[in-house]
């Protein structure tokens, strides 16, 4: 940020259209349009919060966590792994405990964090399977997977090794796009 910006830069940023200070336009655009933009300062976090940028901590990806200043890739991976294994984060103190940090260290990024509750038995919460470790019975519980496809997944895995990702699985099994579009919501590599 340029040092000559006014103290009320958040208010200036939120003004409509051409009234936004010219030097803030590129940053405003990056915050709103680039999902991989990594915020450089607490001021940018506050600006993002004022613009409505939110990170759902219970569904955040590594890329989402890396948008925040001060978080390492190892911390981001830890949070995602915990979340994907079913550990819910209810508040800032939960995130701090998971990272072995004092909560006040994370207080500056709290403005963009969103703590949503998801019912583990609800329809919107899908338990994802790893096709590299899933049993035949587990695969049969997924929609659009019949006994023949489940066997192909397991046999191909045993013969050629683990699937690297969804693209590898699709290529090796010659799966049609509509089936892959369904399975991508149920598989996690």
In sequence order, what are the residues at sequence separation of 6 or more whose Cβ sits closer than 8 angstroms to the Cβ of residue 50?
Answer: 10, 13, 14
Domain boundaries, the chain: 1-121, 136-183
Residues 120/100, Cβ–Cβ less than 8 Å: no
Q: What is the pLDDT of residues 47-100, one digit of tens each?
A: 889 888 899 999 899 999 999 999 999 999 999 999 888 889 999 999 999 999
Region 111-136: what's the mean pLDDT?
Answer: 80
Query: Which run of H or of E encompasses 56?
Result: strand 55-56
What residues does 113 pair with on adjacent strands?
55
Residues 131/153, Cβ–Cβ less than 8 Å: yes
Residues 24/13, Cβ–Cβ less than 8 Å: yes
Position 86 scores a pLDDT of 81
Q: At 129, is the secondary structure helix, strand, or coil?
A: strand
Position 31 scores a pLDDT of 84
Residues 48/13, Cβ–Cβ less than 8 Å: no
Position 33 scores a pLDDT of 85
């Amino acid at each position: 940020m340029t040092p000559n910006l006014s103290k009320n830069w958040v208010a200036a940023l939120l003004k409509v259209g051409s009234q936004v200070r010219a030097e803030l336009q590129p940053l405003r655009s990056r915050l709103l349009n680039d999902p991989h933009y990594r915020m450089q300062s607490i001021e940018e976090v506050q600006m993002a919060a004022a613009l409505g940028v939110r990170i759902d901590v219970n569904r955040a990806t590594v890329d989402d966590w890396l948008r925040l200043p001060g978080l390492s890739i190892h911390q981001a991976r830890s949070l995602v792994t915990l979340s994907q294994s079913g550990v819910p984060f209810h508040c800032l103190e939960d995130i701090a405990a998971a990272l072995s940090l004092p909560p006040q260290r994370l207080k500056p990024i709290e403005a963009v964090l969103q703590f949503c509750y998801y019912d583990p038995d609800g329809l919107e919460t899908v338990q994802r399977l790893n096709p590299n470790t899933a049993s035949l019975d587990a695969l049969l519980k997924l929609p659009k997977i019949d006994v023949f496809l489940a066997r192909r997944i397991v046999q191909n895995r045993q013969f050629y090794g683990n699937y690297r990702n969804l693209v590898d699985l699709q290529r090796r099994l010659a799966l049609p796009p509509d089936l892959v579009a369904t399975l991508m919501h149920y598989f996690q590599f």
